[in-house]
Homo-oligomer: A and B are copies of this chain.
Amino acid sequence: MKPSLPQGTRDFSAEVVRKRNYIFNTIRTVFELYGFQPLETPAMENIETLMGKYGEEGDKLIFRVLDSGNSFQKDFFVGLFKYVLEFRKQTADANPNVSYFDEFDFLNKLIDHPTVIKELAKQLQENKDLNKKYLPSFKNDVSSKALRYDLTIPFARFVAMNHGQLAMPFKRYQMQPVWRADRPQKGRYREFYQCDADVVGSNALLNEVELANIYTTVFEKLGIDVEIRINSRKILTALAEVCGGADQMMNITIAIDKLDKIGIEKVKQELSQRGLNQSQVSIIEKYLSINGSNEEKLSSLQQLIGDNENGNKGLEELKYVLHYCQLSTANRQLSIDFTLARGLNYYTGIIFEVKANNVQMGSIGGGGRYDDLTGLFGVPNVPGVGISFGVDRIYDVMEELNLFPETLQTGTKVLFFNLGVEESRKAYELMQQLRSKGISAELFHEQSKFDKQFKYADKKSIAYAVMVGSKELAEKNCNVKNLQSGEQQTLSWNELLNFSF
């Protein structure tokens, strides 16, 4: 059997693990500096926790987990057979003349119409009443669990389960893999990490300021030059109101969200197709063409929206965040962008999106404010705001711009050569003493030719070789070779232990 990996998944070798950990550790350090606390949730959630939270398309991408054994299927089949029989009976009763459901060979005919079986199976699975009648033990038997699709819903579930015990506002960060049954393609995987920070239980705009500063601090530490685009959903609401299409809010948002990809002309076409009239489209076009410095943009927008209440609230939000960010050093990256919409529709206030400069890449971070995170789980009135880091894309950006520190690949530092039984015993002693000083070291596993041991050191990028042969054993010293420069020196055992590797 030739082994392989499931589509869209990856092994991470040592070099990649170290680089990824460098990103994770950098983000973690900043999250903690800002008072966020770690949380980890299980890979599996109950299916009801996840379903219906990501839209119809999202639901289809959720990986369901079967309970142990295959009993579910067997139970399901029995239910399905019963249901098919009953269905036939009812249909036959209602339409005695429909020969398709003829008593004798209906099953034979059914087989020629697999879509009918599929449809019945679907009804049986999705209709609660049918479910109850034919599959009394179905719920717990089939796939009661699924792999988490993001970190937000598990977080909401956690907050809803524990909100009495949490210090509010509750600030948590979470860095774990998520799974999506998406079609794999370049840069899109079925298992990938998310890296989120959220504050819930507070309406204060100070939280948005904090999150913006987290973005600037993290990317500064990583050495990535970024632009943090910022807008407010309230301004998009105002735009819809101002052009007399408040009910068109979603249509406007969806169309604007595509601006980057399809350009202004196609956005205008789409707006028309979605039922907006000429004058509305032209107001939106005017809105989308606002440019200049942050201050110029704010004043252009003020002119466009006049005294619209939502618009002015949105402007206040933006001004507050910009003002506060100016108090800290890292505010240059913040850029108002009224064309920013963010597809997901649960945002209600400030929204963010981060792009790396000097490299072709989609957004490497995003987030925003939402009004009610845990309402779905029976705990209303928990507003919050959160951001996310796109670790896979950040990794790609750093690779492309060569931003990973060279010191990151801290594998084995010293290889002791194995040059005989007595020799290697001494080498082992010396090695253990080096290790106790924190220097990572290995003794080659068996006595071999120099060549073979050098090759091993080379393949593992080990920096130094230490050789204790019979001569060195007698003279109580060793040869230390710098494998990069080729420089070699003889050190006493004592000197070796104090050598600065």
Binding site for B on A (CB under 8 A): 1-6, 9-14, 17-18, 21, 32-35, 37-46, 48-49, 60-70, 73-78, 80-82, 85, 103-104, 107-108, 110-111, 114, 117-118, 121-122, 125, 143-145, 147, 157-158, 160-162, 167-169, 171-172, 177, 179, 181, 190-191, 199, 202, 204, 206-207, 209, 213, 324, 327-329, 376-378, 410-412, 424-425, 428-429, 432, 435-436, 438-443, 445-446, 456, 459-460
Contacts and interface: CB of A to CB of B under 8 A. Distances in A.
Name A's interface SS. Answer: mixed
B70 A73 contact: no
Contacts of A4: 46, 49, 161
Nearest to A413: B35
Given A37-B460, A63-B66, A77-B118, 11 more contacts: A11-B42, A32-B440, A35-B411, A61-B68, A62-B68, A63-B67, A66-B143, A69-B181, A77-B77, A207-B445, A328-B428
Given A11-B42, A70-B122, A213-B432, A49 B18 contact: no
Nearest to A14: B37
B442 A78 contact: no
B63 A64 contact: no
Contact of A121 (B73, B172, B207, B439): B73
Contact of A70 (B125, B202, B428, B441): B125
B378 A32 contact: no
Contact of A412 (B21, B35, B456): B35
A37 B461 CA distance: 12
18 contacts: A2-B377, A13-B39, A14-B38, A17-B39, A32-B410, A43-B191, A44-B191, A60-B68, A65-B66, A68-B181, A70-B121, A70-B122, A73-B121, A199-B445, A206-B446, A207-B445, A209-B428, A324-B425
A106 to B, nearest CB: 9
A135 to B, nearest CB: 12
A329 B432 contact: yes
A167 to B, nearest CB: 4
A440 B34 contact: yes
Contacts of A429: 327-328
B107 A441 contact: no
Contact of A435 (B10, B17, B34, B442): B34
Nearest to A153: B3
Contact of A39 (B11, B191, B439): B11
A445 B206 contact: yes
Contacts of A162: 11
A107 B104 contact: no
A149 to B, nearest CB: 11
Contacts of A63: 44, 65-68
Given A191-B42, A329-B432, A459 B68 contact: no
B122 A74 contact: yes
A74 B492 CA distance: 75
A327 B81 contact: no
Contacts of A376: 1
A439 to B, nearest CB: 8
A202 B35 contact: no
B204 A324 contact: no
B147 A65 contact: yes
B68 A65 contact: no
